[in-house]
């Protein structure tokens, strides 16, 4: 319990645990760090099992997990969101080193960075990309093939069911409001008007060096502080963040982690620089019903391709 205290101050304990877990998965610097990480993870896990919910500090998130099998499923969903690329249930479907929480920050509890809060209240929703009505589970499965550069787990299987349960729990109290225009929830990413700015790649490169490289590497391939932002272990060119407008809008509210002070112009410059690099190609045959993915590092706002 004393260990837990270390993490419950100003910060979201899940966020700290997640960072720790990320480091553990990448490169523990020494056997001592590995041991301390394991001890902390064990302490947190034990306390999470015996104490009520851990997110009472975020508006709209229930303060307690439900009892019984439902609560266990919510917790499984949370674990899958936070350790997607390593969890034995989800790993077989993931084609990169990202987790849902890499972009849906704080396990989807971040109010602005592609929040999961309230999302369940907007589904079923119309998806322009697929020209059909999709469920929350379908929406989750779509993320696997683009942002996670992987495969869809079967509909109704444990992974999407647990993640949908977690997102529905995070949506407790949100009024039902179907979204007739697109498959996005009520707290979706606020899009900036990127057309007002001309991206400058060389300014983006030097800003990246100053503000991002410490955690994502000069080569963009990630390090023990942060995941890759381009290259083979990144999201593919069908993912929402591969579009300039989405990336710039997300960076504005999400990065640099814990110090989000980029101007809109800087967000656009850095987004253009990051997305000027190679990343996996989205195989269109994975989604025959969908339109071909938009071109790499496009400057158009791609509202039909939200993810």
3-state secondary structure of 249: helix
Please give the angle made by the CA atoms of 169, 175 and 177, to the nearest 5 degrees.
Answer: 110
Question: Where do contacts with ligand HEC occur on this chain (CB under 6 A)?
Answer: 18-19, 22, 84, 98, 100-105, 114, 119, 122, 139-140, 143-144, 147-148, 163, 183-185, 188-189, 211-212, 214-216, 225-229, 234-235, 239-241, 246, 250-251, 255-257, 270, 274, 306-307
CA gap 257, 92 in Å, rounded: 28
Question: Smaller CB distance to ligand HEC: residue 4 or 19?
Answer: 19
Question: Smaller CB distance to ligand HEC: residue 73 or 84?
Answer: 84
Contact 89, 158 (CB under 8 A): yes
Nearest to 279 by CA among 238, 251, 248, 245: 238
In the complex, least distance from residue 30 CB atom to ligand HEC, rounded to whole angstroms: 20
In the complex, least distance from residue 50 CB atom to ligand HEC, rounded to whole angstroms: 25
Question: Smaller CB distance to ligand HEC: residue 52 or 126?
Answer: 126
**φ and ψ of 66, to 5 deg:** -65, 160
Nearest to 106 by CA among 14, 176, 195, 175: 14
Extract the tokens encoding 109.
């509890």
Task: Find all residues with CB under 8 Å of 167, minimum gap 6, and list them.
Answer: 77, 108, 116, 119, 120, 136, 140
CA gap 154, 92 in Å, rounded: 12
Question: Smaller CB distance to ligand HEC: residue 48 or 242?
Answer: 242
Question: Smaller CB distance to ligand HEC: residue 68 or 180?
Answer: 180
In the complex, least distance from residue 100 CB atom to ligand HEC, rounded to whole angstroms: 3
In the complex, least distance from residue 262 CB atom to ligand HEC, rounded to whole angstroms: 6
In the complex, least distance from residue 153 CB atom to ligand HEC, rounded to whole angstroms: 9
Contact 101, 81 (CB under 8 A): yes
Half-sphere exposure of residue 151, counting CA atoms within 13 Å on the CB side? 7
In the complex, least distance from residue 64 CB atom to ligand HEC, rounded to whole angstroms: 22
In the complex, least distance from residue 211 CB atom to ligand HEC, rounded to whole angstroms: 4
Question: Smaller CB distance to ligand HEC: residue 102 or 165?
Answer: 102
Question: Smaller CB distance to ligand HEC: residue 13 or 227?
Answer: 227
Extract the tokens encoding 247.
């990336």
Question: Smaller CB distance to ligand HEC: residue 1 or 264?
Answer: 264
Radius of gyration of the chain (CA): 19
In the complex, least distance from residue 23 CB atom to ligand HEC, rounded to whole angstroms: 9
CA gap 163, 166 in Å, rounded: 5
Contact 94, 150 (CB under 8 A): yes
């Amino acid at each position: 319990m004393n260990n837990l205290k270390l993490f419950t101050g100003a910060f979201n304990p899940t966020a700290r645990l997640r960072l720790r877990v990320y480091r553990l998965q990448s490169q523990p610097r020494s056997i001592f760090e590995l041991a301390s990480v394991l001890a902390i993870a064990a302490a947190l896990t034990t306390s999470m099992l015996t104490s009520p919910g851990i997110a009472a500090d975020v508006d709209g998130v229930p303060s307690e997990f439900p009892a019984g099998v439902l609560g266990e499923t919510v917790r499984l969903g949370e674990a899958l969101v936070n350790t997607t690329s390593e969890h034995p249930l989800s790993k077989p479907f993931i084609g990169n080193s990202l987790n849902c929480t890499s972009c849906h920050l704080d396990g989807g509890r971040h109010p602005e960075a592609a929040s999961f809060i309230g999302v369940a209240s907007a589904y079923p929703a119309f998806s322009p990309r697929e020209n059909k009505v999709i469920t929350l589970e379908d929406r989750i499965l779509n993320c696997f093939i683009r942002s996670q550069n992987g495969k869809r787990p079967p509909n109704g299987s444990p992974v999407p069911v647990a993640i949908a349960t977690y997102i529905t729990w995070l949506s407790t109290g949100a009024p039902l409001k179907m979204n007739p225009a697109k498959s996005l929830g009520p707290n979706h990413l606020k899009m900036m008007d990127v057309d007002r700015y001309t991206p400058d790649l060389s300014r983006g490169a030097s800003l990246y060096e100053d503000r991002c490289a410490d955690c994502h590497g000069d080569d963009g391939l990630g390090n023990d502080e942060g995941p890759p932002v381009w290259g083979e272990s990144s999201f593919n060119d069908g993912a929402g963040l591969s579009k300039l407008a989405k990336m710039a809008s997300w960076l504005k509210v999400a990065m640099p982690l814990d110090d989000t002070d980029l101007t809109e112009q800087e967000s656009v410059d850095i987004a253009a620089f990051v997305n000027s690099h190679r990343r996996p190609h989205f195989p269109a045959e994975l989604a025959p019903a969908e339109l071909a993915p938009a071109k790499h590092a496009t400057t158009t706002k791609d509202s039909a391709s939200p993810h």
